[in-house]
Amino acid sequence: MISSLLKPTVIVNEKKYKIMKQIGEGGFAFVYNVMSTGKGDSGERYALKKMICQTDEQLDEAKKEIDTMIKIKHTNVLPLIEFAYVLNKKGQKEVLLVLPLYHGSVQTQIDQGPGYPHCAFTDGLDVLKIMRQIVEGLSAIHASGLRHADLKPANILINECFQAVITDFGSVSSAPITVKSRAEALEVQEKAASFTTASFRAPELYNTPSSCEVGFASDVWSLGCLFYCML
Query: Environment class of residue 228 by beta-carbon count within 10 Å: exposed (0-12), middle (13-18) or buried (19+)?
Result: exposed
Q: Please measure the distance between the N-terminal and C-terminal CA atoms of the chain and give it in whole angstroms.
A: 46
- What's the sign of the alpha-carbon dihedral 57, 63, 66, 71? negative
Active site residue 150: yes
- How many CA atoms lie less than 13 Å away from 130 in the CB half-sphere? 27
Q: How many CB atoms lie within 10 A of CB 16?
A: 16
Give Cβ neighbours of residue 6 (< 8 Å, ≥ 6 apart).
Answer: none
Among 41, 111, 123, 150, the one annotated catalytic = 150
Give the C-alpha separation, 231 to 126, whole Å. Answer: 11
Give backbone dihedrals phi and psi of 208, rounded to 5 degrees, phi first: -75, 125
Cβ pair 47, 40 in contact under 8 A? no
**What amino acid positions are annotated as catalytic residues?**
150
